[in-house]
Structure 1
Amino acid sequence: MIDLRKRVFSMYGKNKNLKKIDIVKHFELEGFKRSTIYNIIKRYENGLPIEDCPRSGRPPYFDRKKLKRLQHAAANRIGVNQRKLATKFGVTQPAIHYNLKKLGLKYYKRQKAPKYTTKRLQQIPKKCGNIRRQLTTKHTFIIVDDEKYFSFSNDDMPQNTGFYSFDKEHVPDNVKYKTKEKYSKKVLVWLSLSAKGISKPFIGTAKGPAINSNVYIKECLSKLLVFIETYHSHDDYIFWPDLATSHYANETTQWLIQHQIKFIPKQVNPPKVPKARPIEDFWSILANKVYEGGWEATTELQLKQRIRKKIKEVDMKVVSNMMNTIRTKLRKIENSGPFAIL
């Protein structure tokens, strides 16, 4: 801008015979705006210098050098907050907030993700690529299964953590306080699903055994077999279990082979890719429905009935859409690693 002013001042001062419009047209041909040139001519006529005059008001504390220091101190660093930065730079927290915004820096919450070793980060993309390219096609139905524990209370549900009130002191205790047992009662729920449907669930008892190979075969895989015969008897399908010990025990794999259920071999199954298996999202949907409105169970039977009822209420279109994204997610992991789908 200073160089442009020098040129306009020089042309207008040395060529008194030139009209303003001639000077404007000359610089317009160079790509400058008409209003900019007229403003510079007016500045010359008012006797103002080429350089900007000192401005009134308090000068900003953060000059370019300090802004660069602030950016270095804040960008892509863990454990940084505005109050700490305010103390470090000797300014107020609102000043830090303003200048971070000026720099275009935004605060993001860290996402939870599995912890991977270097070796696994190398293995996972290859295994996902094998599933996508060698074991499945775009016409293959992928069947997944999983287990989840449901407690009697809704303590862990984000939508049930707070409440509205005119006066916090006059709120019923069951609303004001989130009580929690040291050893809360839970029931185990297993089911399988595909783009076509949801299997009949296995719901254990509060004092029942954990899932081992015998329980898995008797209570879970028997229902999986019925599910496959009902929905996929004439389809190209593959069963994708997670890497739980009971899922790949010798008895389990022998049972699957005996009943001619095509499944992903253990050596090909990628570890720690929960977001690639949509059943994790299904559990979130189901839990939101079960504990909606702060619902809590008083008996085991009540909880089981509630779970069965809410499974039937899950929108199958949502499930189908989730299951149809598996191969897309596998491609992303294959190309960019497991963090690509988080």
Structure 2
Amino acid sequence: MLVSAVKALPRKKINTNEELRKKILYIWTNNPNISYKKLAKLTGSTYDTARRTVLRIKKGGSVKDKPRSGRPNGSADAQLEKKVIAIIRKNRSMSTRDIAIRAKTTHVQVTRIKKRNGIKTYKKKKVPKRSEKQTSKSVSLARKLYETPLANKNFCVIMDDETYLKMDLRTLPGNQFYCLESGEDISDSEKTIQIEKFGKKVLIWQAICECGHKSTPFFTMGTINTEIYVKECLQKRLLPFLRHHNGQIMFWPDLAPAHYANITQKWFEDNNVHYVRKDLNSPNVPELQPIERYWALMKAKLLKMGKPTKTISEIKRMWRTASLKVSPEKFGRMDSNE
């Protein structure tokens, strides 16, 4: 009975004398005849601590710590604390330093007040901007897709997409830094990122599957129309990729016009490719598509290489190198939060 009562206690790390005394009191109240040795063992304390606590309770004492000398806990300026909390509640996005300027105090003091009141700072997430109609449509279509017999089978989901890549990999999004010794100076080219206003871009098509495999990518300096999509992407690259899967697959294209053209849909039917129909495909839902995470991971790897390229051949070689470094676990699952 006693052991089960102890197990029922919340599994909380004991880090103060007061919490330890509360636990000793709880067990001793349920079993007043328990020995000090067993009480110490059950509470993770010492024999002397268990004995002193029980005697203290018997004499009418409290489990709370006695008042100590020194500075009391809490803020030295209650009005300042209220002011800081009011500023935070009024503008949740304000930085710690801006709060300090508004409250006429230091950022260290603001940090202490936030910690004392259990206020934590979190990073905002970027999400697609959707209208109410788009949101409602996305939810209803996603539900319909989930309820289709096709989705309820053990299909491996394959999706494709296109992304643009600048020829100069140094201009990819992301923070870049440089180091200097005291009194040293370097050229401006090493301190800055020179961005060409109308720099050359490469369009890259690729397909990935839910189990983490990747198709052969397609590179072009132009755009992808229906004819190029069917010939270069589907016939030459997607079809061999599909044949490598032993089980059944479901192809989930995005809503680009070329992906649902009559010629494209006929190709799907001629090659027995199960695909998500256009009337079931949710618009503007990149959070459901792991290929968006794949693009981000690839561009992060390419940014670390940080080299200007002049030809598609160079881009192809660097893309293959970066692709080998991207782990399938990072993008493979559609329910992943990576």
Matched, 1:304 2:313: no
Matched, 1:170 2:185: yes
1:72-111 mapped onto 2 (5 Å cutoff): 72-75=86-89, 77-111=91-125
1:98-177 mapped onto 2 (5 Å cutoff): 98-134=112-148, 135-137=150-152, 139-153=154-168, 154-158=170-174, 161-167=176-182, 170-177=185-192
Unaligned stretches of 5+ residues in structure 2:
1-50
Tell me by how many angstroms 1:108 deviates.
Answer: 2.5
Matched, 1:319 2:331: no
- The 1-side partners of 2:96 and 2:330 are apart by 41
Contact persistence 1:75–1:105 (CA under 8 A): no
* 1:276-313 Cα shifts (integer Å, max 9, x gaps): 211122222322333434222133332233224443x2
- The 2-side partners of 1:219 and 1:266 are apart by 22
Contact persistence 2:229–2:258 (CA under 8 A): yes
Helix, strand or coil at the partner of 1:267: helix
Aligned position for 2:288: 276
Tell me by how many angstroms 1:119 deviates.
Answer: 2.6
* 1:200-235 Cα shifts (integer Å, max 9, x gaps): 211113xx2x12222211221112122112x13x52
Give 1:241's match in structure 2, choosing from 253, 259, 276.
Answer: 253
Change in Cα spacing, 1:61 to 1:31, as seen in structure 2 (3 Å) is closer
Helix, strand or coil at the partner of 1:158: coil
Contact persistence 1:152–1:185 (CA under 8 A): yes
Contact persistence 2:174–2:303 (CA under 8 A): no
Contact persistence 2:174–2:300 (CA under 8 A): no
- The 2-side partners of 1:262 and 1:156 are apart by 36
Tell me by how many angstroms 1:273 deviates.
Answer: 1.9
Aligned position for 1:253: 265
Amino acid at match of 1:275: E
Contact persistence 2:250–2:276 (CA under 8 A): yes
Aligned position for 1:219: 232
Tell me by how many angstroms 1:169 deviates.
Answer: 5.3
Change in Cα spacing, 1:306 to 1:87, as seen in structure 2 (3 Å) is closer
Name the structure, 1 or 2, with higher relative contact order (CA <8 Å, separation 6+): 1
Helix, strand or coil at the partner of 1:128: helix
Identity %: 26
Tell me by how many angstroms 1:66 deviates.
Answer: 5.4
Change in Cα spacing, 1:309 to 1:321, as seen in structure 2 (3 Å) is closer
Change in Cα spacing, 1:56 to 1:151, as seen in structure 2 (3 Å) is closer
Instruction: Give the stretch that moved more between structures: 71-80 or 116-125.
Output: 71-80
- The 2-side partners of 1:268 and 1:70 are apart by 49
- The 1-side partners of 2:283 and 2:60 are apart by 62
- The 1-side partners of 2:81 and 2:144 are apart by 48
TM-score, length of structure 2 as denominator length? 0.71
- The 2-side partners of 1:56 and 1:322 are apart by 52
